[in-house]
Amino acid sequence: MRDGVRRLLVAVAAATLASLLVGCGDDEQPQGGNADPDQVDSVDVPELGSCRVLAPDDIAAASNATETVECTEEHTAQTYAVGELPDELEDTSYESEELGRFAYRTCGTKLEKFLGADESLSLRTVLTWAWFRPSEKAWDEGARWYRCDVVGGSEKSERLLPLPETAQGLLGGRPDDRWLVCVSGPAVSSGTKVPCSKPHDWRAVTTIKVGEPDEDYPGDRVVEVTTRDFCSKSVGAWLNYPVDFDYGYTWFHQPEWDAGNRRSVCWAKTPD
């Protein structure tokens, strides 16, 4: 390590996957804002390509029946993948981790293809996915479908970003800064994620692959140190080797590993 390089706070993102695996939502409440009665407690597989105006609270729920809108109108979500759950999940519980892992792998892989992103870029964008299953009532009636929506933001966002008429191919070529993720704040771990088109202090610039698909989880310490050392060099190179620079890194834990993630994210402190 060269003198002058200052290490920054580590950002840990384990809580994100924990909520995806377990799922949340209360079926005593409406299944999303502006719910469509025909979709409430529906046992039918949702329509592929549909657009909706979803809010952060909507994507935190397990099920959603928000009415669809024309994709030419303003919307914040587009359904890019739907289908029946595999047979091995037929008898799983409504909030099982196995169900969440299936959604993590399926929605994540299909989103990369839909957006035209590689594995690295998919971790450095404000675009992410929300997944929904049938309501508990429909589940008890035998419904076993899933729905993956692309959204701009997360359940912690103040609001979700409006999407273009279609998000397909949106990250192909050189993506616009409004779809790339930056952070506003003194540190990655405590700041607020914003599109890079907005004023910011940090930018997600590279990722590191910390393991192969068939490898066992090496432990928190190994993943963190491997990430830290790589990001020190990678961010320095991205910044064109300044004498002094600040960097951050986001690394993940065993739940993400078990779901299939093998990458950590490197952040450069830069207003650019």
Question: Alpha helix locations (H) across the chain?
Answer: 14-22, 56-59, 97-115, 136-140, 220-238, 254-259
Per residue of the chain (272 residues), what is the pLDDT tens digit?
222 344 444 444 433 444 444 444 444 456 888 899 999 999 999 999 999 999 999 999 999 999 999 999 999 999 999 999 999 999 999 999 899 889 999 999 999 999 999 999 999 999 999 999 999 999 999 999 999 999 999 988 889 999 999 999 999 999 999 999 999 999 998 899 999 999 999 999 999 999 999 999 999 999 999 999 999 999 999 999 999 999 999 999 998 898 889 999 999 999 99
Instruction: DSSP for 225-249, please give it.
Output: HHHHHHHHHHHHHHTT--SSEEEEE
* 140 and 247 together in one domain: no
Phi-psi category of 128—alpha, beta or left, where left has phi over 0 and alpha has psi -120 to 50?
A: beta
pLDDT given for residue 115 in this prediction: 98
| Nearest of 205, 211, 225 to residue 257 by alpha carbon | 211
Same domain, 58 and 130: yes
User: Apex CA 226: angle with CA 223 and CA 229, to 5°?
Assistant: 145
| pLDDT attached to residue 33 | 80
Contact criterion met (CB below 8 Å) for 231 and 245: no
φ/ψ of 202, rounded to 5, equals: -135, 145
> Does 159 share its domain with 68?
yes
How many folded domains does the chain comprise? Answer: 2
Q: Are strands 181-184 and 127-132 parallel, antiparallel or unpaired?
A: unpaired
pLDDT at 186: 94
**Predicted pLDDT of residue 29:** 52
- Is residue 26 in some structural domain? no
Domain range enclosing 16: 1-21+180-272
CA distances to 35, 75, 260 from 103, rounded to whole Å, are 23, 23, 11
Q: pLDDT at position 3, please?
A: 28
Q: Which of 126, 151, 172 is the last residue of a domain?
A: 172
Where does a domain end: 172, 206, 240?
172
Element (H, E) at 150: strand 145-152
Helix (H) or strand (E) holding 46: none
Amino acid 146: pLDDT: 98
Q: In the prediction, which pLDDT does 150 show?
A: 98
